């Protein structure tokens, strides 16, 4: 076995993955006091569990995730089904346009939309009502603004995955559906969607992971409007470490977030691991533990 | 890969109702406008002064163009630091994409072509690593990089970016499909050693996979924000994403009291353009990468 081919990755994995994980666990058991690290056991975790700012941030990203992931994936699925139907000409062009925002850095997308949300800059916002222009930067509307940003950035990405999955369905199945008298819409709902069930589950899991890590958009928007330092767990973790220099508490919070993310992903995978009961056809259960296309990307 | 050809697919198309066709096309066009208009607005905005941004119709070019003065402002602002950031972004993205892809390909090759003790353990850890959010690792990574004295250096940013568990997973799956195991045996019969076989026979065969992973890594690094934000505090080392976010933070406060809007508009536009071109030209490779594993072969 050519060990030297494997060695660089194993070393990187040990140094920049395993070590940081263990180091975060280690840090989370201490407090810094006058330049001294004092072992406090699980005290930081007790503090995290009592920290209402942390949990309200977490609730906010969960709320955000439920709404955003639902909207985005429905949009993506409908677009993919429409582009896979007989109704459309110029499919390649539409696919390119919808997928385009994937190439735009999340930060730039956030800047762009952040400016577009400013009522002075964007007359579209004042269209909603001449007297009370909708201000997506105002308190209470920021989350809606972020939902729109993330949907703009990632709907086409997910559509691309669905579309590729749809094109791998054998045409014979459509033929059979047509002989059974299925309309195009019925075929989409009863044949196509069940066939790409595994792909849909995969995108849900990846999107949940992404939405719990929400950071870039609120971080940029914090420059344009009032957003609290603990708006999302990741913002809280970042600000605790780099604005207040409390690395120990920050580490404890990131361990809790990582565990929650991990458990949420596994829970969702477990909940959906039963085959669809109504689907008697053999469903191709492709193995795809992950296909996160954006290494190191934080949403 | 795909069991039905596109031609067969076309032959199975039925002639659809023209009303439905038109309605669908209108809907899809409206949605396309949603995806395109912000980018078009950004393009238009590069030609405007702050005043024009606020006073002229947002989607129309102004009667008097200020593209050139915005361009000159960008080049001179903070001694042209924008171009420094652009060079940094190119450097980080190239280094992470070239070296990261090679490292991932080497590891993926060994994991897919050789049976050995520990193979399963490594493969499982990689899948586990994919579920751990990168942001959770950022704080300890910062402390680690700081303690080895690499904070605010190029290697300090690039080294953590070389680790790409997704890349190894991708290459493992790709190589398993693209490279017949017999090649290894026949190469050995000819007396070649395993390293020679990898570099001379393996790499050319897996070339399309390498291109795909290179592009995905390049875009991922170019767009990355959190890791460089955490690891860098020296403006001279920022990539575009971090630099621009700092400008947005200084929107109304920096310099002579001139709002930085036009600067941020033209800088954002220039940061997006290379990605859009790369993306448009090489979309096939990118698509095959992000859909890998979700499409049954």
d(C-alpha B29, C-alpha A173), whole Å: 29
Locus of tokens 């565990």: A259
Domain ranges of chain A: 1-41, 52-271
CA distance B8 to chain A (A): 8
B137 vs A20, A157, A170: nearest CB: A20
Give chain B's length.
297
User: pLDDT below 70 — which residues of chain B?
Assistant: 1-16, 253-257, 292-297
Residue of A nearest to B107 (CA): A6
In a domain, B95, yes or no: yes
Residue B203 lies in a domain: yes
Token readout for B112 is: 């897919």
Are B67 and B205 part of one and the same domain? no
Average pLDDT over residues A203-218: 90
Check whether residue B213 and residue B263 sit in a common domain: yes
CA atoms within 13 A on the CB side of A78: 10
Q: Are residues B257 and B183 in the same domain?
A: yes
- The whole-number average pLDDT for the span A79-83 is 93
* β-pair type (A36-39, A30-33): antiparallel
| Residue B295 placed within a domain | no
Nearest CA-CA distance, residue A88 and chain B, Å: 6
Please give the tally of structural domains in chain B.
2
Q: Do A168 and B295 touch (CB under 8 A)?
A: yes
B44 and B139 in a single domain? The answer is no
Cβ(A264)–Cβ(A208) under 8 Å? yes
Residue B111 lies in a domain: yes
ipTM: 0.88
What is the per-residue pLDDT for B289? 77
Residues of A in contact with B34 (CB under 8 A): 152
Query: Do residue B157 and residue B272 come from a single domain?
Result: yes
Q: Do A114 and B195 touch (CB under 8 A)?
A: no
Distance CA B42, CA B59 (A): 9
Closest CA to A86 of B65, B128, B13, B228: B13
Q: Of B130, B69, B100, B297, which is closest to residue B215 (Cα–Cα)?
A: B100
Q: Does B281 fall in a domain?
A: yes
Separation between Cα atoms, residue A194 and residue A281, nearest integer Å: 10
Task: Say whether both B62 and B181 belong to one domain.
Answer: no
The answer to whether the Cβ–Cβ distance between A87 and B21 falls below 8 Å is: yes
Which alpha helices (DSSP H) does A104-224 contain, by range?
106-117, 123-127, 142-166, 171-179, 184-187, 193-195, 197-212, 216-221
pLDDT surpasses 60 at A275: no
- Cβ contact, residue pair A86, B296, below 8 Å: no
Residue of A1, A3, A4, A5 to mutate for B, most B C-beta atoms under 10 A = A5
Q: How confident is the model at residue A259 (pLDDT cuts 50, 70, 90)?
A: very high
Same domain, B225 and B102: yes
Task: Using CB atoms, pick whichever of A90, A160, A215 lies closest to residue B290.
Answer: A160
Query: Which pLDDT tens digit goes with each residue over A126-173?
Result: 555 455 555 666 767 889 999 999 999 999 999 999 998 898 888 888
Classify residue B2: in a domain, yes or no. no
Do the domain assignments include residue B205? yes
CB pairs under 8 A between A and B: 336
Whether residue B213 lies within 8 A of chain A, CB to CB, comes out as: no
Superfamily of domain A52-271: MetI-like (1.10.3720.10)
CB-CB under 8 Å, B103 with A8: yes
In this structure, the answer to whether residues B54 and B103 fall within a common structural domain is: no
Question: Chain B window 60-99: which residues touch A at a Cβ cutoff of 8 Å?
Answer: none
Residue A106 to residue B78: CA distance in whole angstroms = 24
**Residue B56: domain span:** 14-76
| Contact criterion met (CB < 8 Å) for B291 and A291 | yes
Q: Give chain B positions within 8 Å (CB) of A107.
A: 223, 225, 241-242, 244-245
Q: Evaluate whether residue B118 is within a structural domain.
A: yes
pLDDT tens digits, B104-153: 999 999 999 999 999 999 999 998 888 887 778 888 999 999 999 999 99
Q: What is the CATH number of the domain that holds B276?
A: 1.10.3720.10
Tokens of A201: 């589950």
Query: Nearest-CA distance from B95 to chain A in Å?
Result: 14
**Are residue B63 and residue B87 in the same domain, yes or no?**
no
**Do B26 and B156 fall into the same domain?**
no
**Which of the listed residues B76, B104, B127 is the one where a domain comes to its end?**
B76
Query: Is residue B284 domain-shared with residue B241, that is, in the same domain?
Result: yes
Of B59, B76, B93, the position where a domain reaches its end is B76
């Amino acid at each position: 076995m050519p060990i030297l081919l494997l060695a660089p990755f194993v070393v990187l994995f040990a140094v920049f993955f395993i070590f940081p994980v263990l180091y975060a666990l280690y840090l989370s058991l201490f407090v810094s006091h006058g330049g001294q690290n004092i072992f406090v056991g699980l005290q930081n975790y007790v503090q995290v569990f009592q920290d209402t700012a942390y949990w309200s941030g977490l609730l906010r990203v969960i709320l955000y995730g439920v709404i955003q992931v639902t909207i985005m994936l429905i949009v993506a699925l409908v677009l993919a089904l429409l582009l896979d139907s007989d109704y459309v000409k110029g499919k390649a062009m539409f696919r390119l346009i919808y997928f385009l925002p994937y190439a735009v850095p999340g930060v730039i997308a956030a800047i762009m939309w952040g400016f577009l949300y400013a009522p002075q800059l964007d007359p579209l916002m004042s269209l909603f009502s001449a007297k009370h222009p909708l201000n997506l930067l105002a308190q209470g509307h920021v989350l809606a603004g972020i939902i729109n940003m993330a949907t703009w950035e990632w709907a086409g990405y997910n559509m691309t995955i669905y579309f590729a999955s749809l094109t791998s369905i054998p045409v014979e199945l459509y033929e059979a559906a047509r002989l059974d008298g299925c309309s195009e819409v019925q075929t989409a709902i009863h044949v196509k969607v069940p066939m790409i069930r595994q792909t849909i589950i995969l995108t849900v899991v990846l999107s949940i992971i992404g939405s719990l890590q929400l950071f870039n958009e609120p971080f940029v928007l914090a420059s344009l409007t009032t957003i609290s330092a603990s708006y999302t767990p990741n913002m809280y973790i970042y600000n605790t470490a780099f604005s207040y220099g409390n690395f120990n508490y920050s580490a404890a919070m990131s361990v809790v977030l990582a565990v929650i993310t991990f458990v949420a992903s596994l829970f969702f995978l477990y909940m959906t691991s039963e085959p669809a009961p109504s689907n008697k056809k053999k469903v191709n259960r492709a193995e795809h533990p992950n296909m996160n296309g954006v290494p190191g990307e934080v949403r | 890969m795909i069991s039905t050809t596109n031609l067969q697919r076309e032959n199975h198309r039925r002639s659809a109702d023209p009303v439905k066709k038109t309605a669908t096309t209108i809907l899809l066009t409206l949605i396309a406008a949603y995806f395109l208009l912000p980018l078009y607005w950004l393009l238009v905005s590069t030609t405007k002064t702050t005043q024009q941004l606020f006073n002229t119709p947002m989607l129309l070019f102004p009667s008097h163009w200020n593209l050139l003065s915005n361009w000159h402002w960008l080049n001179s602002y903070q001694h042209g630091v924008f171009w420094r950031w652009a060079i940094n972004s190119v450097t980080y993205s190239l280094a992470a994409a070239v070296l990261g892809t090679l490292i991932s390909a080497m590891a993926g090759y060994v994991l897919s072509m050789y049976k050995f003790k520990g193979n399963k353990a490594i493969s499982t850890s990689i899948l586990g690593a994919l579920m751990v959010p990168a942001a959770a690792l950022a704080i300890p990574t910062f402390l680690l990089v700081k303690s080895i004295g690499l904070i605010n250096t190029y290697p300090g940013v690039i080294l953590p970016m070389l680790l790409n568990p997704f890349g190894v997973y991708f290459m493992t799956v790709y190589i398993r499909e693209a490279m017949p195991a017999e090649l290894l045996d026949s190469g050995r019969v000819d007396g070649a050693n395993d390293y020679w076989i990898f570099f001379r026979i393996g790499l050319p065969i897996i070339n399309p996979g390498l291109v795909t992973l290179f592009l995905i890594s390049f875009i991922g690094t170019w767009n990355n924000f959190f890791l460089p934000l955490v690891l860098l505090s020296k403006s001279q080392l920022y990539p575009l994403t971090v630099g621009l976010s700092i400008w947005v933070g200084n929107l109304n406060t920096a310099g002579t009291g001139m709002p930085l809007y036009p600067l941020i508009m033209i800088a954002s536009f220039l940061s997006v353009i290379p990605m859009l071109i790369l993306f448009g030209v090489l979309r096939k490779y990118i698509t095959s990468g992000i859909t890998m594993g979700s499409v049954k072969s």
